[in-house]
Amino acid sequence: MNNFADQLEQKIRETGNPSVMGLDPVLSYIPESILSACRKDFADPEAASGAALYEFNRRLIGSVAGLVPAVKPQLAYYEEYGPAGLAALRKTIQYAHQCGLLVIADGKRNDIGSTAQAYADAWLGQTRLVGGTEAPMFGADALTVNAWLGLDGIRPFFDLCRDQGKGVYILAHTSNPSAGDLQDLVLADGRPLYEALAEKIAVWGEELVGSCGYSSVGAVVGATWPQQATRLRELMPRALILVPGYGAQGATADDAACSFGNNGGGAIVNASRSLMLAWKKHQMDHEDFERAARLEAMRMKEDLNRALVKSGKKMI
């Protein structure tokens, strides 16, 4: 099955859960038992930090394997720990794959064509190394990208979607408070800018629609702006939508439901802090973070399915 949308939709059906766990590790989220073990094992603070990030992720992934279809590491939180952080990210991606989870690398990458090709190779493709061997460097299944540079800056990603079954999510309308600074500006023809972009995304994705009816060229649409999300789903009926903003950023499951297709498919809802820090909400010990994340992931699954039934998009 060489189409990302088909792979993702099948995983969502298998788990009955249209959500994705964000892996945005910060040292203060990691319990003391892991931190002190890494301090003991590694004299170098960078190596110890990388090991702690990986161990935290490994246990989070183990706790939700079989329950969520995918994870979404946010690349900034690995770059923050330098080369050791990126090595931890690579191991995290490999472990998620071993556990049967898809991996969406959240990097919002963007550049001119030749450079976008290098990003595409780094995150979704292969690199030719000294000596001539080719190997995947990070090996994610999909990547978030920013379309500010226009089509030639994202075409290299489309090539990997077509040839290697990868996916791409283009930032259409983000979840943050100042999303509208540029995205909501009104064009001469009366449309807001994000609608003009959405129409382009729909066209760009036409050639990559899988047998599930959705395209591997997806979009990021924040749940914090439900009115815009409803309109964007109309304009991009076949786009896979990645929905941030649920939970810690304030959006509800009903808000998130606006981004799903009429068949209840085509979207996944991200939760990062609300899963990584679920032990706080459930008043559990920090060392119980895995059990808390699993409990919260189950609660979120029910919450999303309830909202989808309520919206009329999903049959009971």
Judged by CB under 8 A, does residue 243 bind a copy of itself?
no
Residue 86 or residue 298: which is nearer to a copy of itself going by CB?
Answer: 86
Residues 88-147 that bind a copy of itself (CB under 8 A): 90, 108-113, 115-116, 118-119, 121-123, 127-131, 133, 135, 137-138, 146-147
Q: At what angle do helices 82-98 and 45-64 cross, to 10 degrees?
A: 20
Cα–Cα distances in Å, from 174 out to 108, 110, 249? 11, 16, 12
Cβ contacts of 79 within 8 Å, gap of 6 or more: 85, 86
Residue 78 or residue 260: which is nearer to a copy of itself going by CB?
Answer: 78
Chosen residue from 4, 29, 54, 81 binding a copy of itself by CB under 8 A? 81
Span from 65-73, 196-204, 253-261, 281-289 in contact with a copy of itself (CB under 8 A)? 196-204
Residue 111 or residue 254: which is nearer to a copy of itself going by CB?
Answer: 111
Residue 1 or residue 112: which is nearer to a copy of itself going by CB?
Answer: 112
Place of tokens 């309308």: 173
Closest CB 91 distance from a copy of itself, rounded Å: 10
Asked if 174 and 244 touch (Cβ cutoff 8 Å), the reply is: yes
CA distance 208 to 213: 10
Residues 263-302 that bind a copy of itself (CB under 8 A): none
Judged by CB under 8 A, does residue 230 bind a copy of itself?
no
Place of tokens 């996944």: 268
Asked if 212 and 9 touch (Cβ cutoff 8 Å), the reply is: yes
Asked if 214 and 13 touch (Cβ cutoff 8 Å), the reply is: no
Closest CB 130 distance from a copy of itself, rounded Å: 4
Chosen residue from 10, 62, 86, 252 binding a copy of itself by CB under 8 A? 86
Closest CB 146 distance from a copy of itself, rounded Å: 5
Q: What angle do CA 112, 216, 114 make, to 5 degrees?
A: 15
Residues 16-75 that bind a copy of itself (CB under 8 A): 24, 27, 35, 38-39, 45-46, 48-49, 52, 74
Judged by CB under 8 A, does residue 79 bind a copy of itself?
yes
192 three-state secondary structure: strand
Closest CB 20 distance from a copy of itself, rounded Å: 16
Asked if 117 and 131 touch (Cβ cutoff 8 Å), the reply is: no
- What burial class does residue 260 get, using C-beta atoms within 10 Å of its C-beta: 0-12 exposed, 13-18 middle, 19+ buried? buried
- What burial class does residue 86 get, using C-beta atoms within 10 Å of its C-beta: 0-12 exposed, 13-18 middle, 19+ buried? middle
Span from 61-69, 93-101, 195-203, 283-291 in contact with a copy of itself (CB under 8 A)? 195-203
Residues 143-182 that bind a copy of itself (CB under 8 A): 146-153, 171, 174-182
Judged by CB under 8 A, does residue 237 bind a copy of itself?
no
Residue 1 or residue 26: which is nearer to a copy of itself going by CB?
Answer: 26
Q: What angle do CA 171, 250, 65 make, to 5 degrees?
A: 75
CA distance 20 to 194: 24
Judged by CB under 8 A, does residue 193 bind a copy of itself?
yes
Q: At what angle do helices 226-235 and 193-204 cross, to 10 degrees?
A: 40
Residue 1 or residue 185: which is nearer to a copy of itself going by CB?
Answer: 185
Chosen residue from 87, 143, 236, 256 binding a copy of itself by CB under 8 A? 87
Catalytic residue annotation: 108
